[in-house]
Amino acid sequence: MFSKKKKNDNEDPNMENKTEEQAITEETTQGTVEELAGENGASENSNPEPEVEISAEEKLKLENAALNDKYLRLFAEFDNYKRRTQKERVELLQTAGKDIIVSLLPILDDFDRANKAAENATDVAAIKEGVQLVHNKLKNQLMQKGLKDMESINTPFNTDLHEAITKIPAPTEDMKGKVIDELEKGYTLNDKVIRFAKVVVGS
């Protein structure tokens, strides 16, 4: 009654066994994966990381504290800078004339020698020559530092350069409004007036 299925001559006899083995292997693998996934899920759920929620008010307090700290640091740095610059300014003012004074010391030595020589000197011409040499040395040293004397006589009166002491009638018509005499010489330092010339002006 039952007909037997004729086997195909080309059919591999081990094919049926391989299929069953593959099925068993796939079922085992799937079961292992599910077990591992279950264990990982249980592990993750067993130690959940606590979530810290910060309210808006606490957040503002933290930001305010950070800004206050930054402000205090900047204020301290600026205060240190101000104190340091004030100290440097005082030191600069105290030593500002040091270079000029050091350069004038040799001239002071010359004056000391001239005074010592004048005590027993009988030749007035020699004393006069010595004083003139010291004067020229002093003037040259100051000129090297940027000092210049003004030429005021016979020049138009200028309030930016001159200080009128008095006015006198001009000897000639072209001398009106000009400097006739100079009582005290004026000076400039690096082209800036440091002393006005005291002059007599023709009117």
- Average pLDDT of the segment spanning 126-153: 89
Q: Please say whether the beta carbons of 177 and 202 come within 8 A.
A: yes
Report residue 42's pLDDT band, with 50, 70 and 90 as the boundaries. very low
Position with higher pLDDT, 3 vs 65: 65
Q: Compute the average pLDDT of residues 144-154.
A: 90
Q: What is the pLDDT of residues 184-198, one digit of tens each?
A: 999 999 889 999 999
Query: Could you tell me how far CA 203 lies from the centroid of its own chain?
Result: 55
Quote the pLDDT of residue 6: 42
- Residue 127 CB partners (closer than 8 Å, separation 6+): 114, 117, 118, 121
Query: What's the pLDDT band for 145 if we cut at 50, 70, 90?
Result: confident
CATH for 148-203?
Answer: 2.30.22.10
Q: What is the per-residue pLDDT for 16?
A: 45
Q: Which residue has the higher pLDDT, 15 or 22?
A: 22
Least Cα distance to 143 among 191, 98, 102 occurs for: 191
pLDDT at residue 14, rounded to an integer: 46
Q: Where are the domains of the chain?
A: 148-203
Residues of the chain above pLDDT 90, percent: 26
